[in-house]
């Protein structure tokens, strides 16, 4: 179920004790995104971090206090399942299904970093397990709370573009040299490459905005010397709504295209550059209630219009903290999570079709 990212979650009772969160993984996803956002969320407390790296263990304690429980493996966390209220899986992609399943079997609600699984079938199986046990299972799709996405969603709700014909969306970088690590591995079990990394965001956003997909065409390359996994991929989607989505993800873009270009019967919306929240989190900034967060400078605003008749559109503030606020609210009230597992399964169907299309050089029909 898609939760409106602009809607504020209902307030939890002030007397309720904080919900204790166990975080598995303290690499980029765990340390930069999940841990800071959990710590900044009213009603949640980061109780445990799981990492086998002594350096990352020291980092976690330095960043979240000596009272933090630190475990070297997931077994130690699950041995304390009765002391926790939520498990967050931010470990390498290949472990997501196993660890999410173990958490659900232990009676714990789960948040899983994207991608939830390698296949839609695996995602559906996890969704079924969560439903049978009456537990929350959500996927961390923080890019639904990017400034540009929230701004575009508002424009679409207002009808400012008229009938939308084409949605163009890019996550491009210029990284001509490999960095190494599992994200660039060619082992299919690792789910490396950009299709399952940045493509998970791009496809999710397209589905949220324009609905189910009828057909998928994709082109995928491993361009950099020594590259084993895709680093330059394009996906074309035909939505049942009639909209065409063109999605680019690349590590080999020497000059970057617009982040969004959305063409409609009345006007187009074009914006460049990335939401500022990731850079802020990487730099050690943390969201604080009541203080500005996720705001773009006027120089970064997109433009709306047709031909030469265009005007800047003030960007809505990005709001990654809204994701965990909605998780906390769902846990307190028994409501729907901000991003459901079956939504993730729909996106995985598209990603699987894109992988098949690129490998076989054909359009894949989904509906």
Looking at the structure, do residues 188 and 78 belong to the same domain, yes or no? Answer: no
Sign of CA dihedral 220, 270, 213, 244: negative
- Please state, in angstroms and rounded to a whole number, the distance separating the CA atoms of residues 88 and 22: 6
Sign of CA dihedral 153, 157, 162, 166: positive
Number of domains in the chain: 2
Would you call 85 helix, strand, or coil by DSSP?
Answer: coil
CATH code, domain carrying 100: 3.40.50.720
Looking at the structure, do residues 260 and 155 belong to the same domain, yes or no? Answer: yes
What are the tens digits of pLDDT across the range 295-307?
999 999 999 999 9
C-beta separation of 10 from 333 below 8 A: yes
Nearest in space to 318 (alpha carbons), one of 271, 361, 358: 271
Q: Would residue 1 count as lying in a domain?
A: no
Predicted pLDDT at 305: 98
Pairing of strands 164-172, 260-264: antiparallel
Predicted pLDDT at 4: 62
Nearest in space to 102 (alpha carbons), one of 140, 56, 135, 54: 135
Backbone angles phi, psi at 48, to 5 degrees: -140, 140
Nearest in space to 97 (alpha carbons), one of 134, 67, 125: 125
Cα 228 → chain centroid: 24
What residue numbers bound the domain in which 288 lies?
A: 144-320+349-365
Looking at the structure, do residues 276 and 358 belong to the same domain, yes or no? Answer: yes
Predicted pLDDT at 15: 53
Looking at the structure, do residues 230 and 82 belong to the same domain, yes or no? Answer: no
Backbone angles phi, psi at 239, to 5 degrees: -85, 150
Burial string for 310-332 (b: 16+ CB within 10 Å, else e) reads eeebebbbbbbbbbbbbbbbbbb
Only one residue has tokens 């460049």, namely 272
- Please state, in angstroms and rounded to a whole number, the distance separating the CA atoms of residues 198 and 170: 9
* Cα first-last separation, the chain: 20
Looking at the structure, do residues 249 and 280 belong to the same domain, yes or no? Answer: yes
What single-letter DSSP state applies at residue 351? Answer: H
Only one residue has tokens 């969004």, namely 260
- Please state, in angstroms and rounded to a whole number, the distance separating the CA atoms of residues 351 and 353: 5
Nearest in space to 109 (alpha carbons), one of 281, 346, 338, 322: 338
- Please state, in angstroms and rounded to a whole number, the distance separating the CA atoms of residues 288 and 40: 7
Looking at the structure, do residues 266 and 333 belong to the same domain, yes or no? Answer: no
Looking at the structure, do residues 158 and 227 belong to the same domain, yes or no? Answer: yes
Looking at the structure, do residues 218 and 137 belong to the same domain, yes or no? Answer: no
- Please state, in angstroms and rounded to a whole number, the distance separating the CA atoms of residues 227 and 180: 9
pLDDT tens, residue order, the chain (367 aa): 455 655 544 444 445 899 999 999 999 999 999 999 999 999 999 999 999 999 999 999 999 998 999 999 999 999 999 999 999 999 999 999 999 999 999 999 999 999 999 999 999 999 999 999 999 999 999 999 999 999 999 999 999 999 999 999 999 999 999 998 989 898 888 999 999 999 999 999 999 999 999 999 999 999 999 999 999 999 999 999 999 999 999 999 999 999 999 999 999 999 999 999 999 999 999 999 889 999 999 999 999 999 999 999 999 999 999 999 999 999 999 999 999 999 999 999 999 999 999 999 999 999 7
């Amino acid at each position: 179920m898609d939760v409106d990212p602009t809607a504020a979650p209902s307030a939890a009772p002030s007397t309720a004790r904080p919900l204790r969160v166990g975080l598995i993984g303290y690499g980029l996803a765990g340390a930069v995104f999940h841990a800071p956002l959990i710590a900044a969320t009213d009603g949640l407390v980061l109780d445990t971090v799981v990492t086998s790296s002594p350096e990352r263990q020291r980092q976690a304690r330095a960043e979240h206090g000596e009272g933090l429980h630190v475990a070297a493996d997931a077994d130690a966390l699950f041995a304390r399942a009765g002391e926790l209220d939520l498990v967050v899986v931010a470990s390498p992609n290949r472990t997501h299904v196993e660890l999410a399943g173990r958490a659900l079997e232990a009676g714990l609600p789960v948040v899983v970093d994207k991608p939830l699984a390698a296949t839609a079938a695996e995602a559906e199986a996890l969704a079924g397990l969560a439903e049978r046990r009456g537990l929350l299972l959500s996927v961390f799709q923080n890019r639904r709370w990017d400034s540009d996405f929230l701004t575009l969603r508002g424009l679409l709700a207002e009808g400012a573009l008229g009938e939308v014909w084409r949605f163009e969306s890019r996550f491009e970088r210029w990284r001509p040299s490999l960095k190494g690590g599992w994200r660039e591995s060619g082992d299919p079990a690792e789910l490396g490459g950009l299709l399952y990394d940045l493509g998970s965001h791009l496809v999710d956003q397209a589905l949220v905005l324009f609905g189910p997909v009828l057909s998928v065409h994709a082109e995928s390359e491993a361009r950099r010397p020594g590259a084993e996994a895709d680093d330059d991929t394009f996906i074309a989607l035909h939505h049942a709504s009639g909209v065409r989505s063109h999605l680019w993800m690349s590590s080999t873009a020497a000059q970057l295209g617009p982040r969004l270009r959305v063409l409609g019967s009345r006007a187009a919306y074009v914006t460049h550059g990335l939401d500022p929240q990731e850079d802020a989190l990487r730099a050690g900034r943390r969201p604080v209630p009541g203080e500005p967060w996720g705001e773009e400078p006027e120089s970064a605003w997109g433009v709306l219009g047709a031909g030469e008749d265009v005007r800047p559109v003030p960007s809505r503030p990005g709001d990654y903290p809204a994701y965990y606020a909605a998780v906390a609210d769902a846990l307190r009230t028994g409501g729907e999570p901000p991003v459901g597992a079956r939504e993730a399964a729909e996106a995985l169907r598209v990603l699987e079709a894109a992988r098949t299309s690129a490998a076989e050089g054909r359009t894949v029909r989904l509906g």
